Structure 1
């Protein structure tokens, strides 16, 4: 299976608490709900048809797991795609604190140690995608281990200012190949990116001509 990271992100890279003021207040975060003013029909179509429609299994961190379980297990239309995937597809939860009983939500397996190697082994299984949704710390760990095959980002036209970021100063450098891009009616940008080798260059003038040279990393 491919490993994909699917998430909402602000212009300044924040992914914390997009769906509501109380969704994730870790660290005193008070700006939750920044996605809601930008909801439109395109948003729902992208999340359904271009994200969850590719899933065969879901991989979540503890906080995102508990938030999603509370919402989607009580969702009124259990036949909708996102509800069906999250409630009935295989899920893998990264947690050192929850017991199997506490993690009960459909077919859920708790991963407690050697996370990178366990995820590496899951990727060897047949299937389309093992999908990470939200799960800030897990997404960073998997990126730094070189395990992410594709990023699907909805980038919203808002600067949040502080909060958990998809990439920060601990992130392993990477370039990306843009597989596809588009915009929603409300102004969000949908990006599908594949990681590539980080490279650098320099722009100079040689014999009166602008010359681009590669700089060793």
Structure 2
């Protein structure tokens, strides 16, 4: 049985919108603006390590497009992250949940265009390792609401934006259990939670 892991970056007040400032959100760009190079280097090391235990990536349509634009249109040096992490993301099998997409620029992608909860349940049943979800906040709501998410890994950045899309804006109430918390670099906090079954 596969394990669905949501991996996200967030501000202290839970905003996940436009971390790199390329989406036009007035308060975007917080990912690079409010932490130092040591923090970002430690973040990249954690992300790279995380990918080593992953069997596949699961995206919504918009997040898949976001990664395609940044990773397939640029070489690894231009992604502003480690080449090892970028290579890992590119090489992993990808599953994209979309009712409108018929193909992807990823050569190793499968489009899930039926009932999302049913298809993801089947994906979990047929895999043994971790299925990692980056971004994909509408999909995250679906995963949580249908009890399909198993773990949340959250890196919290030391900034308050006051407004913006939050990770759990549209989800139903779900209990989580804190598994681990640790510091990354000088100012980032990394939290790991397990979703509790009702």
TM-score band, normalised by shorter chain: 0.7 to 0.9
Partner residue in 2 for 1:57: 56
CA distance in 1 between counterparts of 2:181 and 2:95 reads 29
Contact 1:40 1:186 in 2 (8 A): no
- 1:31 matched to 2:27? The reply is yes
Matches within 5 A, 1:78-93: 80-93=83-96
Distance 1:126 1:97, change over 3 A: closer
Equivalent pair of 2:144/2:174 in contact (CA under 8 Å):
no
Tell me the equivalent position of 2:149. 148
Contact 1:57 1:130 in 2 (8 A): yes
Matched, 1:72 2:71: yes
| Whole-angstrom distance in 1 between the partners of 2:193 and 2:17 | 20
* Structure (1/2) with the larger helix percentage: 2
- State the Cα RMSD in Å: 1.9
Following the alignment from structure 2 to structure 1, what is the Cα–Cα distance between the partners of residues 76 and 171?
A: 39
Higher relative contact order (CA 8 A, sep 6+): 2
Give the stretch that moved more between structures: 126-135 or 74-83: 74-83
Q: Which segment drifts farther, 81-90 or 188-197?
A: 81-90
The count of residues paired between Structure 1 and Structure 2 equals 189
SS in 2 for 1:7: strand
The corresponding residue for 1:183 is 183
Q: TM-score, normalised by structure 2?
A: 0.87
Q: Which has the larger radius of gyration?
A: 1
Q: Runs of 5+ in structure 2 lacking a partner? A: none
Write out the 4+ residue segments of structure 1 that deviate beyond 6 Å after TM superposition. none
- Deviation for aligned residue 1:197: 5.4
- The correspondence of residues 158-169 of structure 1 with structure 2, limited to 5 A, is 158-168=159-169
For 1:171 and 1:67, the matched residues in 2 are separated by 22
- Corresponding residue SS for 1:35: helix
Q: Are the aligned partners of 2:76 and 2:83 in contact in 1 as well (CA < 8 Å)?
A: no
Task: Indicate conservation of the 8 Å contact 1:40/1:185, yes or no.
Answer: yes
CA deviation digits over 1:196-215, x for unaligned, max 9? 257xxxxxxxxxxxxxxxxx
Query: 1 or 2, which has the higher strand percentage?
Result: 1
Distance 2:89 2:42 in 1: 21
TM-score by length of 1: 0.80
2:147/2:197 contact within 8 Å kept:
no
- Gaps (5+ residues) in structure 1? 199-217
